[in-house]
Structure 1
Amino acid sequence: MYISITKQHLDTTFSKSCGDFVGYLEKENRDKAPEHQEHFFDQHNDQMSPEHVVKEIDSNTAKLRKSEPKFYSLTINPSQRELKHIGNDPDKLRQYVRETMKAYASSFNRDTPVSVDSIKYYAKIEYERIYKGFDKEIKENQPYRAKIVKLEHDLVKIRRGELAGNSQDIQKAIEKLRAEAPHRMDGKMIEQGMKKQGFQTHVHIIVSRKDVTNKLSLSPGSSYKASEVMLNGSSVKRGFDRDGFFEKAEKTFDTLFKYDRNFVEQYSAHKMYQKDTYKFFAQVMALPTNEKSAAFKIMGKSGMQIPNLNIPTNQVQMALKAFKQLKRTIDVAKDAGSIGI
């Protein structure tokens, strides 16, 4: 499960309205009959119109300065393994979002506890993803794409009589490059804009910066972790517990749907990987055989380049030595198995 929290802005200023963002989230509804369209939903309602979402978010910005975001965007990205476990069921995803937003609200550190009914949010399920420039497949195909573009330009010049050459030979070279590209789908070289295969269901959530009373500011992007400070001689609670939120979101999915989460899918494992890669892999090697096998499969699908290792679990030092070489080649995909891993 990968969850992101971002503040929506344009260049150096923050959007005055969420209208453009809501319009963007309507893209999958275009050219679909009303009965086949996916609607916005909140904690208690399954169908909310885009116009209602824009009105409610845009009118809930009292006393916010131009330099402050008016709303935040949360994106919940279940892994394909998690989506398969729940049958890619949108009703189960809505249930999960509503429980997760309870965890989101409770992660604010305030003198008066924040409940889910205190926050104003609207969520939308999307079912498709397209390849973008930052995807591993696009990056690794790019050298081939660059050569193809040059050859295609040469073809145009040959047809115009501006360049001497054999157009058939150039066309064969282009086809050869397309066939040699490392990432292909349905026999074609993967390029930007192509739809990704498999379950790609994810959820976008628009959350107002202000609570439902339009008085209390709730920023998940606060630079302060959950803490207390002295203000005018009194102790004041502040901040947002991101780690706590991510862990609660993970546990919520596992509890709701009886999901048996592998070690490498855990948020705590993700943090361990970032802080101490060798310890992370030592933990993987110490897993029971079945779990270790599943862990390596999950990591492989996430984008990690895993070597063919047959190292006994009690020989951790040997594993660490091998992983010192592996560390240089590891590239973790953004939308892989656990939050951030």
Structure 2
Amino acid sequence: MYISISPQKTGGAFSKSAGDFVSYLEKENQGKSLLDKEYFFNQYDDKIQPYEVIKEIDGNTSKLKHKEPKYYSITISPSHYELKHIHNNPEKLKAFVRDAMKEYAGSFNREIGGRPINVDDIKYYAKIEYERTFKSNDVAIRENKPFSKQIAHLKNELRKVERGEVPGNTRKLENEIQKLVRDAPYKIRGQAVEPGMKKEGLQSHIHIIVSRKDASNTYSLSPGSKYKASEVEMHGKKVKRGFERDRFFQNSEKAFDKMFNYNRNYVESYTARKMLSKDPKQYFLSLRNLGINEKKIAFKMIRQAGLQLPVLHLPQNKVGFAYKQLKRIIEASIKASSIGY
């Protein structure tokens, strides 16, 4: 499970309203009947209209500065294994989001009226999406790029030949294109993967738009705070501040596991992904020390990911080492017949 938190994009090129983001989240509803549309939901309501979301988020910005984000975007992306475990059930996804937002509220080291913040203090709206498309920064697109460029060039040449603009052999060009498609490392239904193409398999994920201000439009609650849990003295009083991202990510995973009796493997845990980014050597030592059954599942997950590292952003001086170690462990295990396809 991957969870990310991003502030509203601000600046001259971006709208101050939540309207553009809400419209973007309506893309999968285009062309669908009212019965088939996916609605926004929050902690208590299931069928919230887009205009209500815009009105509530845009109207909950009291005393925020011009350049401050008015809302934050949380994206929760369950893995294929997690989605398969719950049979990709949207009602179960909603139930999980509601638990995760309790963890979100509890991760603020703040108080309102002398009590800890709870989910009723958070103004949020969530939307399930069921599709994903390949983007230019995806591994499949990057590794397919040399082939895609040649395919595009040859297709352009083929069109010119077919129009009689230049001499050429159409059959030869078609065969060259087919060979490049066959050689491309990533394909879907016989077609080389390109940006905009829909990804296969279970792709359900949740977008959550969260107001920067609390539900009473009084207190500013920023998950992007540079402060972790701490106390500071202001006007002679001790004031709590900060947001604990690690707590939110870890407790959300635990909530999913408890709610659905999910047995999380080491490599799909937030703790493991964080260790990989901080200390790759320790990560691989931990991977090697797993029990036999868990290790088999871990290697299968890594192999099915195409040897992609669970964390996309590693310091440059650690990337090569991490990949070499991962490949060496997997290859050694396969040779020892400890992993079955």
* Aligned AA (1:195): K
**What is the one-letter code of the residue matched to 1:68?**
E
Structure 2 partner of 1:41: 41
The 1-side partners of 2:228 and 2:322 are apart by 33
Task: Give TM-score, length-normalised by structure 2.
Answer: 0.87
User: Would you identify which runs of 4 or more consecutive aligned residues in structure 1 move more than 6 Å?
Assistant: none
Matches within 5 A, 1:220-235: 220-235=223-238
> What SS does structure 1 have at the residue aligned with 2:127?
strand
User: CA contact under 8 A between 1:14 and 1:67: conserved in structure 2?
Assistant: no
Structure 1 unaligned spans of 5+: 307-322, 331-341
Structure 2 SS opposite 1:34: coil
The two structures, once aligned, show a CA RMSD in angstroms of 2.1
Note if 1:98 corresponds to 2:105. no
Q: Which position in structure 1 is the counterpart of 2:30?
A: 30
Could you tell me how far 1:305 is from its partner in structure 2?
5.9
Which residue identity does 1:86 align to in structure 2? I
The change in CA–CA distance for 1:92 and 1:324 in structure 2 (over 3 A counts) is closer
Q: Is the Cα–Cα contact under 8 Å of residues 41 and 47 in structure 1 kept in the other structure?
A: yes
Q: Match for residue 212 of structure 1?
A: 215
Structure 2 partner of 1:108:
108
Residues 269-284 of structure 1 aligned to structure 2 (within 5 Å): 269-284=272-287
Q: Provide closer, same or farther for how the CA distance between residues 121 and 184 of structure 1 changes in structure 2, counting only shifts above 3 A.
A: same
1:68-111 deviation per Cα after TM superposition (whole angstroms, max 9, x unaligned):
00111101100000001111111111100001100000111113
The equivalent of 1:249 in structure 2 is: 252
Tell me if the contact between 1:14 and 1:66 (Cα under 8 Å) persists in the aligned partners: no
Superposition pairs of residues 26-105 of structure 1, within 5 angstroms = 26-105=26-105
Are the counterparts in 1 of residues 10 and 67 from structure 2 also a CA contact under 8 Å?
no
User: Given the alignment, which residue of 201, 205, 209 partners 1:202?
Assistant: 205
The CA distance in 2 between the partners of 1:233 and 1:165, in whole Å, is 84
Work out the percentage of aligned pairs sharing the same amino acid: 53
One-letter amino acid matched to 1:326: K
TM-fit CA distance, 1:174: 1.3
Consecutive unaligned residues of structure 2, counting only runs of 5 or more, are: 310-320, 329-341
Deviation at 1:260, TM superposition (A): 0.6
Cα deviation, residue 12, structure 1: 6.0
For 1:158 and 1:329, how far apart are their aligned partners in 2? Answer: 45
Equivalent residue, structure 2, for 1:3: 3
Distance 1:195 1:106, change over 3 A: same
| Larger displacement relative to structure 2 (119-128 or 272-281) | 272-281
| Larger relative contact order, structure 1 or 2 (CA cutoff 8 Å, min sep 6) | 1
Aligned equivalent of 1:143, options 120, 142, 146: 146
Shift of 1:67: 0.8
Residue matched to 1:187: 190
Deviation at 1:302, TM superposition (A): 3.0
2:207 aligned counterpart, secondary structure: strand
Alignment TM-score, normalising by the size of structure 1 = 0.87
Contact map agreement 1:3 1:76 (CA 8 A) in 2? yes
Deviations 1:13-56 (A, max 9, x none): 76311111111111111111111111111101111111111111
* 1:177 counterpart residue number: 180
CA contact (8 A) 1:4 1:76 kept: yes
